[in-house]
A and B are shown apart, each in its own frame.
Chain A
Amino acid sequence: MKHFPKPHILPFVIAVVAFSMSVFIAKGQKNKPVAIPKQYAYTDIESYTVFLNKTVKDDANSFEKKYQKDYLKIISEKNTDLLKDLSERKFLFDSAVYPYLNSVFLHILQKNSLDAGRFHFFVNRTSNVNAYSYEEGTIVCNLGLLNIMENESQVAMVFCHELGHYLLKHVNNSIISQLETYNSSEFLVRVKKIKKQEYNSKKQLEELYKSDVFNRRKHNRSQERAADSLGIALFRNTGYNGTNIAHIFDLLEAAENSPATGVLQSFFKQENMAVADNLFRPSKKMSFSDTRKEETDSLKTHPDCAVRKIAMKNNFDSHGKIGLDYEIANASKFSELKKQALFEEAAFSKENDNLSYYFYQLVQMNTLYPDNYFIKSEIFDTLLSFCIHQKKHQLYAVVSNQYIPDDDKDEYAILLKLIDNIDLGELIAITNKYYTSHKSQINASAEAINNLNHLNN
């Protein structure tokens, strides 16, 4: 799957780096400079590369020699992936959202007397509701997170939490702790003993692995609580208002359990497009597990949101000090930046050929900004693209059905079902209808018109 299709909630994630990710760039191969639009180009990539390489060596040298090789391998892979993402337009360096979020971040550093030279701050273009930190001081905020936040102080608290992870050296501690486990004589003897057994060896290895993962996740949950505590301490120095902070957890929960809004059906109704109701009906959900939820809960890296909310609320209530909701922007500017972020997230889906999710985002945006010509043009283009791909039997290239919704009312799942059910003829009819209704607002290329005519013939 190229891109997670729905806001995926990993609140305040500690980036224990993606160890399993494939490394697509061969060792020693340099990232070739490609023409990247200015808003996605990181101009300091060379100095950042030098910084990463130096930091990983310095950090490795601070650990026991027996762990250095593994540590270098893990972090180098992470660095390669990070640099690859930077060179593949996955981060935003525009002149509005990025400077703003960076200013909030710098404000926190300044108020806490932290050396800004030790940190890097990036904005990831994905709509996943998330923020994360790396072991060398790079903090990343996803655009999806900005979009569910209500004000600047909430954004600041998330950044403080991530800084907490960095300052408490959570990433490196986790790596070293695991290397210690895997290199311990107790562990090695146990593995050797299991491997010698003729029977049940895989089963026991699986149990060993499970218990290791459970322990790590448990450890991670305690790290989350520690990052919350330090985050609150850092936040207190910023001058931001703490009264609304605990509400962040409600926002995260709401984003995860996206309510049924009926936006899709309303859209088609409003456009007078004849789409039968049964085309929206999702299949009856099936399951083949009862342990899944239990295991998922046990494997969560984060403590329960409700518990964290209470802890945070109690903390702010007991040390009541009213600050400001905005230090850098104001409510109106914040709202404008969120709008820009929304368009940017959608553009990212389109770039990743995730047209089903792009269409979902466009319809939501159309509800918020009904007079926007760009949205109208993009809706037309996307509908046309669905028709063209469907005609070539290649819809799978732009629509991923591998998505498990939380409930039957999940709007994105309903859209996927519609795309599944609708016939090519009906899809072309809808595209024609949309074009006719919004002809004056759609900036259609000659090629698009040509394609539409071709489909109609």
Chain B
Amino acid sequence: MKAKLLLILVTLFSIPAFSQDATKVFDEVKTVNIRSSGVIKKNNVVKGYYNFYEFDKVDRKTRIFKLNLLDENLNSLGTKEIEGPKEWELVSSGFDGNNFCFKFWNEKEKTFELKVYDQQAKEVNSITTKINYKPSGMKYTQFKQGVSPELGIVENSGFVNYVYNDPNDAFIINYAGASGQKSWDHTYEPEGKSRIMFPTYLNGNNDIILTAVTKIERGMYSFKTQNSLVANSVKDGAELFDLPTEFDGNYVVPVNAVFEDGKIIVIGLNYKQAKTFTTPPDGFAFLELDKTGKLLKSNFKTFDESLGKYLTIENGKLDGGYFLYIHDIVKTKNNTNIVIAEKFKKPGGSGALSALGAMTGGSFVSLQLENMVVIEYDKNGNVVQAQEIQKAKGTTNSFPSYSGFLSPYLLATAAKFMGWMDYMYTMKSDDNSEITFSFVDYDKLDNDAKKTKNFGQIRYKNGKFTSDKIAIKKEKATWSAILPAKTNHVIQVSYFKKDKKLTMDMIKLNN
């Protein structure tokens, strides 16, 4: 995103020059092109925002950039001047509780660079990885769709990034440590080959980094998967264990992990077959491992037996032929787990074409989306409560006609990768006492109102689920957008063309 912005450059520029010439000259200093802006998160907690902009040319190849950080209330925290290649783009950021990390992409050199700064804006660590694949290649495109560009945050101990590795269709883990710690990269080299692998950062502490790996088997139409839990040493990246998560016919896709009393507690989706991409999950898995990856305890609960008390569910399907797509699982302060899911179905069954597609001679497939569902599980996998949160029925964008024969769950997974589902993101407070799930809704906010595009929030606090919605577009604004913000808030950015005015309002939700 490139936007012309007149920055408020701290106190330094609060007194402009008098003379017109001097004013003009100094205004040039103040006028900048924003290269990128974004949210700084510590896992699911918004800690602030960054603006990255080009300030000056050092020589033909090098630029002076400025990195301006704002806190969660949009107060400026400071600006750092950095020299770098002119091709630099800031891709993502993170905060580990002590340090900030920024992930840069150098288009010319084809490198990713993680730079770690302490709170005095001093660079304390960095690591550069040159990619070994073609960014336009099909396999990388798939990898990019399935792997989050966000940094994994190791509490007070550094940052994790995953880079595609072409030679073995796997990936490289980058770790940029905090001050005084080593940075390293480690190439994941499992036994046997797969068509593609998707790493997901689960958690990390000052000993290990946990990654969930989904491997899709080779073969044009095979969607059989193998899942495993990989642990690397924070110290040097050495692989501590690579544990396949198939246990006596239970195929587990790890979604979340926490460290408790020297043990690793993993929460995942449980499947009765090795097609975790194409079939709906049958339930949840709760695993307890020791530090070496030895399974100490396991508990598998099917939806039919656990969720059936709260929602009519049979063979993974809800009333009306809906499936549940599980977006996230988050551990609460009370040691329970909250699951956020979205109801969806493929209208008319397998291979159905949309009416529009049929009329125009083309053939399109889209998924029908319905309510959000939140479920709270205790640590033994028993449902504490489950609730449907109303949202208007909608459809995803259309898939190509050849997608018609694909299973609804595979289409949902693809829709999720492409950001077509209504679920937006999960946020929480530092201590997990509050958890919020956001979604898009296209309904009336009041009985008398027209249908609008709305931002919806489900909040879990004090053991209760509540929800609230606001219209995304501010009245009279030319356009508005919503940005993630501190707990129970969103930032509504609105542009008023007539007044040439951009406003940013920190809106507190009511639930």
Contact = CB atoms under 8 A, between A and B. Distances in A.
B25 A178 contact: no
Given A74-B18, A401-B73, A404-B75, A199 B58 contact: yes
Nearest to B119: A287
A34 interface: no
B355 interface: no
Contacts of A393: 470, 507-510
Contacts of A205: 25-26, 28-29
Contacts of A187: 22
A13 to B, nearest CB: 13
Contacts of A188: 21
A293 to B, nearest CB: 11
A175 B18 CA distance: 8
Contacts of B59: 199
Contact of B508 (A202, A203, A290, A396): A396
Nearest to B74: A402
Q: How large is the interface on B (under 10, 10 to 19, 20 to 34, 35 or more residues)?
A: 35 or more
Interface stretch (A24-32, A163-171, A209-217): A209-217
B69 A202 contact: no
B21 A191 contact: yes
A209 B13 CA distance: 8
Interface stretch (B76-84, B188-196, B265-273, B288-296): B76-84
A286 B20 contact: no
- Name A's interface SS: helix
Contacts of A202: 28-29, 55-56, 64
Interface in A405-424: 420, 423-424
Nearest to A212: B17
B64 to A, nearest CB: 6
Contacts of B73: 401-403
Contacts of B505: 396
A86 interface: no
B77 A20 contact: no
A295 B21 contact: no
Interface string B111-132: 0000001011110000000000
Interface in B64-115: 64, 69, 71-75, 77-80, 95, 100
A390 interface: yes
Contacts of B17: 178, 182, 209, 212
A209 B18 contact: no
A70 interface: yes
Given A20-B15, A179-B18, A182-B21, A288 B121 contact: yes
A286 B47 contact: yes
Contacts of A402: 73-75
A288 B116 CA distance: 12
A236 to B, nearest CB: 34
A206 B48 CA distance: 27
A171 to B, nearest CB: 13
Interface string B25-66: 110110000000000000000011000000111110000100
A286 B71 contact: yes
Interface in A277-302: 283, 286-290, 292, 295-296, 299
Nearest to B510: A424
A315 B486 CA distance: 53
Contacts of B55: 202-203
Interface in B4-18: 10-18
B19 interface: yes
A195 interface: yes
5 contacts: A182-B21, A199-B59, A203-B55, A288-B79, A393-B508
Give me the 5 closest cross-chain CB pairs, A-B, nearest first: A289-B78, A290-B120, A182-B19, A288-B78, A202-B56
Given A209-B17, A290-B122, A401-B506, 9 more contacts: A20-B15, A70-B18, A178-B18, A191-B21, A203-B64, A286-B48, A289-B79, A295-B12, A402-B75
Interface of B: 10-22, 25-26, 28-29, 47-48, 55-59, 64, 69, 71-75, 77-80, 95, 100, 117, 119-122, 461, 470, 486, 489, 505-511
